Structure 1
């Protein structure tokens, strides 16, 4: 198995490219070769995959996510995305399977950053509306401090 970081992935067309961790040419990635939902495949996500040689070059197969994008990574203009990467908590769960509860302000900051990285064309009003709805859900399930 090889590992690499998603450079870009077009959810409409169903393909993108991975930068192998060990260097070398980028690897083509098609939605049909994913072991995860394609909506989770966004720039910066680290994936594990098999490499196959095809008549068009190197191609990934049996691709799965190892971890989400690094904090502070910037999504470039070539990256077409429609959904955020899976959230990787920076809060230690102490091995008990429970996560720390975020302060409401930190939660809304995180949501805002994800929305702006995922869909830069959202208006301020749209972001505020989505944030309010997500904050309501987070409060309902105890994901944030009241």
Structure 2
């Protein structure tokens, strides 16, 4: 079954990154070996479609292709609707905020436990909801 999401981040040099599923589930690991398009085309915010597998460390995407980009094999692709918030949106989905918070917390303090990260994320997401900073 195909799933859709948005690239949270992708490190072209290291060859891996994460996808935030549109379904709001846990972030999905992505690896350059599973990309159907050229890896330089995968940027944060890119809409993608992928098959979901369970890897050794959690959900993993395979057969990842960009949506709305020119096809690498000569076929055509449907384009995705434009983002109503534009490229510089301050409004995120709860899943996008959760993913970005996780990255920020891990970069700020790599010694945080999973439970600590979950508690901080939950508090910040509730704060963002109370101010209307998240998409409905």
TM-score by length of 1: 0.48
Q: Give the structure 2 partner of residue 57 of structure 1.
A: 58
Unaligned runs of 5+ in 2: 70-81, 90-99, 104-136
Contact residue 44 and residue 73 of structure 1 kept, 8 A: no
1:1-146 counterparts in 2 under 5 A?
1-67=2-68, 70=83, 71-73=86-88
- d(CA) in 2 for partners of 1:64, 1:31: 11
Contact residue 45 and residue 67 of structure 1 kept, 8 A: no
- d(CA) in 2 for partners of 1:36, 1:52: 19
Q: CA RMSD in A?
A: 2.0
Bigger radius of gyration among the two? 1
- d(CA) in 1 for partners of 2:88, 2:66: 17
Unaligned runs of 5+ in 1: 79-146
The C-alpha deviation readout for 1:14-35, integer Å capped at 9, x for no partner, is: 0000000011100000000000
